[in-house]
Amino acid sequence: MSMSFYTADSLKAELHERGWRLTPQREIILDIFQNLAAGKHLSAEDLCELLHTEGHDISLSTIYRTVKLMARMGILRELELAEDHKHYEINQPHHHHHHLICVRCNQTIEFKNESVLKIGDKTSKKEGYHLLDCQLTIHAVCPACQRSILPV
């Protein structure tokens, strides 16, 4: 959790460190996530549509490559929200939160907990790992689904 906020310049610097390049596409995608309302997650498809409505046509290939790259750099969090595809959100410690997911209807509640990040820090440090992100995912059955008689 090195950085809390990326600008085009800091992104550029970090890319150049590894011999990579800052492209307009990467800058635009970073910008989308920076300005996304708290609690919103985007799939690759979501992102593609959102970009389109804002007049940016970035190919799906590039979108997939970019979110994967940014997740591996620690800029984005890759979330598994009980659907059949991944979601991404910006990774900022002061907005750090976790997810409570109903396994039946997939409804997701976000919650904060200060000690989770501490556990992540401690554990990764102990093993010599460089921490990128830690997420607590709770699988449960929501009140509505507990009442329903529908299968599973």
46-75 binders of DNA (CB under 7 A): 57-62, 64-66, 68
CB 11 within 8 A of CB 30: yes
Q: Which of 4, 16, 140, 148 binds a copy of itself (CB under 8 A)?
A: 140
Distances 112 to 27, 105, 116, 117, 150 between C-alpha atoms, Å: 29, 22, 9, 10, 31
Q: Which of 4, 40, 45, 125 binds DNA (CB under 7 A)?
A: 45
User: From the list a copy of itself, Zn ion, DNA, none, which binds 54 (C-beta under 5 to 8 Å, kind-based)?
Assistant: none
* Half-sphere exposure (Cβ direction) of 43: Cα atoms closer than 13 Å: 9
95 binds a copy of itself (CB under 8 A): no
110 binds a copy of itself (CB under 8 A): no
Tokens representing 55 are 């007049």
15 binds DNA (CB under 7 A): yes
Kindly tell me which of 37 and 149 has the beta carbon lying closer to DNA. Answer: 149
- Residue ranges that bind Zn ion, judged by CB under 5 A: 102, 104-105, 110, 142, 145
84-103 binders of DNA (CB under 7 A): 84-86
Name the residue among 136, 121, 14, 9 with its Cα closest to residue 75.
Answer: 14
**106-141 exposure pattern, b = at least 16 Cβ within 10 A, e = fewer:** eebeeeeeeebbeebeeeeeeeeeeebbbbeeeeee
152 binds a copy of itself (CB under 8 A): yes
Binding footprint of DNA on the chain (CB under 7 A): 12, 15-16, 19-26, 43-45, 57-62, 64-66, 68, 84-86
